[in-house]
């Protein structure tokens, strides 16, 4: 069964300031002693205690997730990102200048620290980024600026951003209208295989563009926007068929070997489609740990930030030993890669893109963004 769950706290997820505070807010303030509970309640408590251990890290922080070095690195990274926002609110330069997808990722990096449009130290940066994305919402629902290459990548990230903003402020009609149109475009351009590709036409598909659309649909559904179950079912079927016998994922259905960045995208796709316990997920997680464990030499640098953006989400949603092993390794590796100016650099997509991806990864333990909840 495909399920989409939404976790909100008084309608505003991002107001919590730490995982422990989230847990305290969602759970009752006090639990009566076992002897004072009705038999049915006590039975539920006993059953919960007997269930398998962790199913995701969202409400189960591990020891020493946050460190002084991490706080310092994030603070410097946010300063770097602020300095690289363009006058029109966009992010990205050169070939990827004024890019809605990079702009959305940069805004999500600020939101990962709890800043919202017009609220918080970086609230103005988020508000300007939001305005840029809204200004580039077309009549068809496509979110793209003039310089976009393969616009469905950017569309997916931008729609995810709108979903997260709308999920935290459902009173903004501009965001809702743009989000509804963006979701409609995603639904209408799914191809017969069940996936999506670079352009908003239902002709072919690949796993990397497909995960962008699945995350956008999940965020929109969390925020109350209707998403047909058959759209998700078809996407799940497509993702499953992209998995190779070694547990890794190929780029397209027709052929292809496994690679860790798209495997991370494939596993994350299944999680965001509402599937949490599945042999495909476990085989994918084991493939990632064999081939891409941070700190090792097995993972190549191609698509490094893209791959780790999805890999950390997969490990976070898997929880348990997957998260405990992966998190400190990627945290320390990214901090070691941070430049003296506070940013990170991807030679293909630029500093804003790499820094946004790194900051989203490094702020996973803050648990602000609704999309990272089960």
Higher-pLDDT residue of 19, 171: 171
Output the pLDDT for position 34: 37
Output the pLDDT for position 51: 37
Give the mean model confidence (pLDDT) for residues 74-92: 97
- CA pair distance 296, 293, nearest whole angstrom: 6
User: Which residue ranges form the domains of the chain, and what is each CATH number?
Assistant: 75-372 (1.50.10.20)
pLDDT in tens, 96-112: 888 999 999 999 999 99
- CA pair distance 113, 202, nearest whole angstrom: 36
Task: Return the minimum-mean-pLDDT range out of 26-40, 66-80, 140-154, 322-336.
Answer: 26-40
- CA pair distance 307, 299, nearest whole angstrom: 10
**172 pLDDT tier (thresholds 50, 70, 90):** very high
Q: Count the neighbouring beta carbons within 10 Å of the beta carbon of residue 27.
A: 10
**56 pLDDT tier (thresholds 50, 70, 90):** confident
Share of the chain above pLDDT 70, in %: 83
Output the pLDDT for position 146: 73
Q: Count the neighbouring beta carbons within 10 Å of the beta carbon of residue 196.
A: 31
Residues 330, 294 contacting (CB under 8 angstroms): yes
Output the pLDDT for position 180: 98
- CA pair distance 163, 368, nearest whole angstrom: 14
Give the mean model confidence (pLDDT) for residues 262-278: 96
Alpha-carbon distance values, 99 to 86, 129, 272, 294, 362 (Å): 11, 10, 25, 29, 23
Q: Is the pLDDT of residue 10 over 70?
A: no
Output the pLDDT for position 23: 32
SS3 287: helix
Residues 249, 262 contacting (CB under 8 angstroms): yes
- CA pair distance 175, 297, nearest whole angstrom: 43
The one-character DSSP state at 62 is P
Higher-pLDDT residue of 267, 44: 267
Output the pLDDT for position 60: 74
Beta bridge partners of residue 249, listed in sequence order: 243, 259
Output the pLDDT for position 205: 97
| Tokens coding 224 | 């109350």
């Amino acid at each position: 069964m495909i399920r989409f769950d939404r976790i909100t706290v008084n309608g505003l997820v991002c107001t919590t300031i730490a995982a422990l505070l989230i847990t305290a807010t969602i759970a009752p303030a006090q639990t009566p002693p076992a002897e004072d509970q009705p038999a049915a309640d006590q039975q539920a408590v006993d059953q919960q205690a007997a269930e398998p251990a962790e199913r995701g890290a969202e409400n189960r922080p591990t020891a020493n997730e946050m460190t002084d070095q991490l706080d310092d690195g994030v603070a410097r990274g946010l300063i770097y990102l602020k300095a690289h926002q363009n006058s029109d609110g966009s992010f990205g330069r050169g070939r990827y200048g004024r890019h809605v997808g990079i702009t959305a990722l940069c805004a999500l990096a600020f939101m990962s620290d709890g800043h919202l449009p017009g609220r918080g130290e970086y609230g103005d940066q988020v508000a300007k980024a939001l305005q840029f994305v809204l200004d580039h919402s077309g009549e068809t629902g496509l979110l793209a600026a003039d310089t976009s290459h393969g616009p469905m990548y950017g569309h997916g990230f931008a729609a995810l951003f709108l979903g997260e903003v709308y999920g935290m402020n459902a009173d903004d009609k501009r965001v809702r209208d743009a989000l509804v149109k963006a979701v409609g475009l995603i639904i209408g351009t799914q191809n017969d295989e069940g996936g999506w590709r670079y352009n908003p036409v239902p002709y072919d598909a690949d796993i990397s563009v497909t995960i962008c659309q699945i995350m956008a649909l999940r965020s929109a559904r969390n925020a109350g926007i209707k998403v047909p179950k058959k759209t998700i079912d078809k996407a799940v079927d497509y993702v499953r068929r992209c998995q190779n016998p070694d547990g890794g994922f190929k780029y397209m259905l027709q052929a292809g070997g496994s690679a860790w960045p798209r495997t991370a995208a494939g596993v994350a796709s299944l999680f965001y489609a509402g599937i949490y316990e599945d042999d495909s997920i476990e085989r994918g997680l084991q493939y990632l740990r064999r081939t891409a464990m941070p700190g090792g030499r097995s993972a190549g640098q191609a698509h490094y930030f893209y791959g780790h953006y999805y890999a950390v989400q997969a490990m976070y949603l898997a929880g348990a030993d997957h998260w405990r092993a992966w998190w400190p390794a990627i945290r320390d590796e990214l901090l070691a890669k941070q430049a003296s100016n506070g940013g990170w650099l991807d030679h293909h997509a630029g500093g804003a893109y790499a820094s946004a991806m790194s900051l989203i990864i490094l702020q996973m333990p803050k648990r602000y963004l609704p999309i990272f909840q089960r």
